[in-house]
Every structure is written in C-alpha cells, then in structure tokens.
C-alpha cells in the first residue's frame, strides 16, 4: 500500500507542477502571438522563410507553425499547430510535412545543449540533426509524397 501511495503522490505532485508550468508558459505565449498576428508582425517575421519553405513545396502560411514549433518545441508550440490545422490556411499535406520536419528537428539548441552539458559535441549534433531533417523533408516533399498536381 505504501508503494501505491508513493506513486500516487508522485503523480499528483508531478502533474500539478507540469500543469502550472504549461499554464504559465502557454497563456502569455498565445496572448503574445495574437498581438503579433493582430498587428501583422508575425507575417513579417515568417516572410523571410518563404523561399526556404518553397523548397519543400510549402506555402508561406506554413511558416507560422514551422517557426513556432522550431523554437518552442512540439508541446508549447502545440497551440499554434492545432490552430493552423483548424483554420485551414495550411493544408493537411503541408501540416504533415511541417510535422515531419519538426518531429525530427525542434528546439534545436535547447535539446542539444542538454547533451552538450554532459559531454556531447555541439557541432556534430546540430549539423547532423539539421541536415537530416532538411534532407528527409526534401525527399518526402519532392520524391516520395509530392503534392498531387490537379
């Protein structure tokens, strides 16, 4: 019984901590994003990405989930991914490609630095991961799963 009690306590504390942390991050984040969007700043920020996205056959609209997911990671960026998918500005095919890139490569520096802290080589990790994500997303968008031409 004591064992069950320990796990129960661990779950309650852990969940509470996680919920508070996510709430404190996600609320200001979504408010900030709506402000950036409202004043057209987000569009300006993602515009330079357009030529890069075009190589993967992605429209400029896909830049928003791409950029947010890249820097905030999949969990904190989830709100934007969900929103983009629901608003319909980004097609399901594009969302899949964005998620392919992001699942291989997100929070690039944050994740890497955790391993560097215990002794890994920074440049190998960043270079390898970025090259892999770009290469695989190109392969899928151009060769394996290209958008059907109407």
Partner 1 sequence: MIKTFVVRGWNSGINTFFILMRVMIPVYILITVVRHTPLLGWLSEIFQPAMAFFGLPGEAVMVLILGQGINIYAAVGAISGLEMGVREITILGGMLTISHSLPMETMVIRQARVPVKGLLFIRVGLSLLSGVILNLLL
Residues that bind partner 1 (CB under 8 A): 3, 7, 10-11, 14-15, 18-19, 22-23, 26-35, 37-39, 74-75, 78-79, 81-86, 92, 95-96, 99-100, 103-105, 111-112, 114-121, 124-125, 128-129, 132, 136
Task: Please tell me the number of Cα atoms within 13 Å of 36 on its side-chain side.
Answer: 15
Are 108 and 123 within 8 A, CB to CB? no
Q: Which of 62, 51, 45 is nearest to 147 (CA)?
A: 62
Q: Which is nearer to partner 1, 61 or 105 (CB)?
A: 105
Contact (Cβ atoms closer than 8 angstroms) between residue 95 and residue 57: no
Contacting residues for 44 by C-beta, under 8 A, at least 6 apart: none
Nearest distance in Å: CB 106, partner 1: 9
| CB nearer partner 1, residue 48 or residue 123 | 123
CB of 118 to partner 1, least distance (A): 5
CB of 43 to partner 1, least distance (A): 14
């Amino acid at each position: 019984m004591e064992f069950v009690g320990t796990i129960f306590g661990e779950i309650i504390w852990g969940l509470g901590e996680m919920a508070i942390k996510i709430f404190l991050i996600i609320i200001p984040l979504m408010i900030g994003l709506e402000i950036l969007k409202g004043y057209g700043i987000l569009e300006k920020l993602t515009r330079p990405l357009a030529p890069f996205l075009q190589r993967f056959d992605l429209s400029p609209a896909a830049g928003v989930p791409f950029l947010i997911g890249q820097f905030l990671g999949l969990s904190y960026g989830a709100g934007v991914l969900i929103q983009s998918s629901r608003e319909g500005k980004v097609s399901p095919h594009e969302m899949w490609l964005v998620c392919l890139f992001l699942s291989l490569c997100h929070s690039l520096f944050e994740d890497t630095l955790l391993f560097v802290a215990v002794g890994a080589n920074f440049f190998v990790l960043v270079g390898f991961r970025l090259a892999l994500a770009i290469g695989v997303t190109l392969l899928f968008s151009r060769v394996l799963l290209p958008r059907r031409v109407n």
